Amino acid sequence: MRRSGILLPVSSIPSEYGIGTFGKKAYEFVDFLKASGQKLWQILPLGQTGYGDSPYQSFSTFAGNPYFIDLEELIEEGLLTKEECDSYDFGTNPEYVDYEKVYLSRYKVLRKAYDRALAKGLEREKSYLKFESKNEYWLQDYALYMAVKDSFGSVCWIEWDEDIRLRKRSAIKEYTEKLADEIGFYKFQQYMFAKQWKALKEYANEQGVLIVGDIPIYVAFDSADTWGSPELFQLDEENLPIGVAGCPPDAFSETGQLWGNPLYAWDYHEKTDFDWWMKRIAYCYELYDIVRIDHFRGFDEYWFVPYGDETAVNGHWTKGPGYKLFETMKRKLGDKAVIAEDLGFLTDSVIELVEKCGFPGMKILEFAFGTDATNEYLPHNYKSNCIVYTGTHDNETIMGWYESVDEQDRTYADEYLGIKDGDEVNMKFIASAFSSVAETVVIPMQDYLGLGNEARINTPSTLGGNWEWRMKDGALTGKLAATIYKMTKNYGRL
């Protein structure tokens, strides 16, 4: 089935309060997708972001980002007033997220909503009690973790007092009682997040749009997952990492990428029949229709960097669980729609794993013009079982790439795509993706808008200035929808 979609993070949707939300502008984007003939909306991970603002470094692999809760809906429910929301400073630039201001304002205004919800009988509501019960396996630990973290001035759990750091039973009991109100506040945030996201996803599905979500391969060290279940990870007796995740030197970085995430104790996971992973993946399919598995090659082999190293240069490859994990997934969860993020240098064993799983891999047009006609990212070399992108959240926008690439590669792209003076360069790249044999095409919204690198989402191995771009209100015009619809129809992707 030939189809296409658009990549747009929730954070990049226009809104009044500093960051994209599950509000009316998100519903308008779904309407735009339908009008333009698109079947997929790909987003980035929905997890709660911490330092560095990366959705790939979350305080929990299960919890959602409270920033995405729509305040206007809370106003309609009588939990907030517009005057209260307008009294906070969420940032003044509508084209970029000011995370510091969002952080300093969002939780204060949500706290007001929580207090009013309590007064209205939140803890007796059937829907709230059902949510709490259904998600007990992660929700209590997460809420306790965040409450304790706040009580210690937001430092990482490894710096907490020993009794609670090591989860001694008496300490768990003491903090659960002492911080009951804060724990309730974090549960309320997750309840509102789940309620609003479920409604938005159902609306998208009713319009014929499927949600493509992301499952980061790793969790953050500073997370409820690592604190709550240290046995899942390669930690020493003090619960410090033995090694951390990253990737070797490549085109993105001469010293590799040092992600710093704890590595999995795969022997333990295998002994438990991958129980934690199955819960995690099953939960993803409650949030999304299709799951893109980040850094897929890490399941074949992963880059082990000794803990304390300042770069990833001294790391080494170590065998991962391989096909066993996905065999278990199929046995326990059935056939699921998956996209394998199989970018970077691929060994024969990684290619074999992707093929054995049968998952479609990814093709990036920006990678296509650096060598010759045998380049696997050139459209004439695609097989149908793949997803083609102009670029991803980790790449330049297509116009940013075109303007910054060396002259030889640009000339090759011009000749291959038939680009002439006066052409809309971005649309030439997009048409090439659409015309390929790839079953699925996903185009970042910035590339449809013809934006440069000021709209880039993330530059790997850098801190600051990432995950900030927001789409201008009014960018989704009827004319653009008609242009995309026509291309979708002409290339048989309706």
Answer yes or no: 289 catalytic.
no
* Distance in angstroms (rounded) separating the CA atoms of residues 374 and 157: 50
C-alpha distances out from residue 186 to 64, 193, 288, 357, 466, Å = 11, 11, 23, 38, 26
Q: Are 397 and 452 in contact (CB under 8 A)?
A: yes
Q: Which two tokens stand for residue 283?
A: 């939960």
Answer yes or no: 341 catalytic.
yes
Give the H/E segment covering residue 301.
Answer: strand 301-306
Residue 143, C-beta contacts closer than 8 angstroms, at least 6 positions apart:
182, 183, 184, 186, 187, 190
Catalytic option among 289, 294, 409, 473 = 294
Answer yes or no: 86 catalytic.
no
Catalytic option among 394, 409, 414, 473 = 394
Q: Which amino acid is present at 467? A: W
DSSP string, 23-88: SHHHHHHHHHHHHTT--EEE----BPB-TT--TTSBS-SS-B-GGGS-HHHHHHTTSS-HHHHHTS
Residue 52, C-beta contacts closer than 8 angstroms, at least 6 positions apart:
463, 466
Catalytic option among 341, 366, 447, 468 = 341
Which is nearest to 221 in space by CA: 361, 61, 352, 45? 61
Collapse the DSSP code of 214 into the 3-class scheme (helix H, G, I; strand E, B; otherwise coil) and give the result. Answer: strand
Q: Are 60 and 225 in contact (CB under 8 A)?
A: yes
* Distance in angstroms (rounded) separating the CA atoms of residues 210 and 77: 28
Q: Which two tokens stand for residue 423?
A: 């052409």
* Distance in angstroms (rounded) separating the CA atoms of residues 442 and 292: 12
Instruction: Report the catalytic residues.
Output: 294, 341, 394
